[in-house]
């Protein structure tokens, strides 16, 4: 269950650390709100880590996650996109961060599917169970995506389509369907 999403530019300090894939300690006062007055990262202490990522040339997409110190039943989950200059320096970063509860299914959840008005691509992310070895996603226009998976999370990056997501399917090591989330009218993260 997503309790709240905040969209905006990701702090350069935080985003730079995400690019290299390390855990980042975030003191409550260290990260200013990117472009919103109500950013959950600004008010918390603890750590977040890159859970899975996709690198495409000078761009990266990442799933970041970490515990909510005030409530162990909740987690921070975010997706962000970054680009790098030719020399490796970070050029830009943008993302969304939300607070999620326990997934409805222990095998598969859809937790993030932000769609930015000025983009022609979309990041889709969620959590998976230990038996899941592959996650496939289908969009309404026929686009099929295979997600990057690691550390109990998946991330798919739709580069050429912002069509509605209609199916998220998780498969076990034998290729058998472990769990599926499907709706011909469009699948959205719980609100």
User: Is residue 65 assigned to a domain?
Assistant: yes
Residue 52 within any structural domain of the chain: yes
CB 106 within 8 A of CB 129: yes
Residue 189 lies in a domain: no
Q: What percent of the chain has pLDDT over 70?
A: 72
The answer to whether residue 187 sits within a structural domain is no
* pLDDT at residue 150, as a whole number: 94
Model confidence at 108: pLDDT above 70: yes
pLDDT value of position 189: 81
Q: What is the mean pLDDT of the chain?
A: 76
Residue 103: give the domain boundaries. Answer: 2-182
Encode pLDDT of 109-151 as tens digits. Answer: 999 887 666 667 788 999 999 999 999 999 999 999 999 999 9
On whether residue 152 sits in a domain, the answer given is yes
- From CA 76, how far away is CA 101, in angstroms rounded? 9
Q: Are 149 and 126 in contact (CB under 8 A)?
A: no
- Res 21 pLDDT > 90: no
Write down the pLDDT at residue 119: 67
Identify whether 151 is part of a domain.
yes
Q: What is the mean pLDDT of residues 69-91?
A: 86
Query: In which region does residue 52 sit, left (phi positive, over 0), alpha (psi from -120 to 50) or beta (all else)?
Result: beta
In a domain, 121, yes or no: yes
Q: Which of 53-62, 71-80, 111-120 has the lowest mean pLDDT?
A: 111-120
How many H helices and E strands in the chain?
2, 13
pLDDT given at position 4:
37
| Count of structural domains, the chain | 1
Q: What is the pTM of this model?
A: 0.76
141 lies in some domain = yes
């Amino acid at each position: 269950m997503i309790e709240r999403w905040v969209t905006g530019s990701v702090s350069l300090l935080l985003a730079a650390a995400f690019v290299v894939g390390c855990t980042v300690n975030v003191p409550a006062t260290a990260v200013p709100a990117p472009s919103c007055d109500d950013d959950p990262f600004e008010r918390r202490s603890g750590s977040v880590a890159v859970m899975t990522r996709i690198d495409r040339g000078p761009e990266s997409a990442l799933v970041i996650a970490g515990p909510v110190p005030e409530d162990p039943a909740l987690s921070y989950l975010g997706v962000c996109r970054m680009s790098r200059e030719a020399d490796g320096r970070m050029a830009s970063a943008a993302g969304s961060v939300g607070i999620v509860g326990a997934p409805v299914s222990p095998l598969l959840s859809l937790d993030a599917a932000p769609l930015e008005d000025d983009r022609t691509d979309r990041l889709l992310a969620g959590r998976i169970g230990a038996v899941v070895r592959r996650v496939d996603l289908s969009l309404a226009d026929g686009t099929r995506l295979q997600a990057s998976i690691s550390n109990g999370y998946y991330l798919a990056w739709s580069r050429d389509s912002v069509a509605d997501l209609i199916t998220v399917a998780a498969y076990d090591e034998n290729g058998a369907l472990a769990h599926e989330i499907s709706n011909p009218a469009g699948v959205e993260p719980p609100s």
